[in-house]
Amino acid sequence: MTTHHDNWILAAQCPSKIGTVDVVTRFLREENCYITELNSFDDREGQGFVIRVEFRPEGAFDSASFISRFDDRAQPFDMAFELTAPGTRMPVVIMVSKSDHCLNDLLYRYRIGQLPIDIKAIVSNHPDLEPLAAWHKLPYYHLPITPTTKAEQEAEVWSIIQQTGAELVILARYMQVLSADMCSKLSGRAINIHHSLLPGFKGAKPYHQAYDKGVKLVGATAHYINNDLDEGPIIAQGVESVDHSHYPEDLVAKGRDIECLTLARAVSYHIERRVFMQGSKTVVFAN
């Protein structure tokens, strides 16, 4: 699930044009950089091109000079790019309600170094998980919310995000619908996780509804948030088969496991610069 953290990452996108792969790979060769992983995709319908390269310099490396020189090469292609240094830990804020399975999983992966993130704060509309945050020595903000205080609560959340410099917000089973304004502010940098039962079940006790219908598949979807509830651009999905022997509590347990794995995978893809937006869809270079 993780990239090689001793490698640099160059991620770029631009309109489709002849020479897009060459301009990247030729430059890296001229800079004496060895490519360890390369992924690219040309969208013939959207006429867009994306490329992600992991590389290691074979000598002295000056990132500022690299960026300046590559920018000269990229401009004729209208290519936007980002260079990520080895060992970069993305600052994040995690939002959660009462369910702790996704939070526990993220904290474990963070603790063992599997996810290169720097958790700046945990925000919740309930006090229940504060002891878990305290055990990890992480700041915990209990911000209750009611229909009449939603705007004020979100303003506090936004203040925390800005003050901590968080580049990503992870909704680890945060059971509140964000406002259109908040969704707009967090566009492309907030990941949500929810169940994906087939057929779809909404409302209370979805796994019990699924059991009553005799579902044969359970899963989870991780996506960027937008103003359409649970319908943002998809980053990762997980699915497993079930049968008549799975009672509601079994479906819930299996669903928790899939949610944890799918959310962690989506976060990993995002921080490793493996996700590119192409219109309302994503291009994901899964590793």
* Residues labelled catalytic: 230
CA-closest candidate to residue 153, choices 142, 140, 164, 168: 142
Largest CA distance in the chain: 63
Distance CA 124, CA 31 (A): 47
34 HSE (CA, 13 A, CB side): 8
| Local structure of residue 200 (DSSP, 8 states) | -
Coil, helix or strand for 207?
Answer: helix
Contact at 8 Å (CB) between 91 and 62? no
Beta-carbon neighbour count of residue 27 at 10 Å? 17
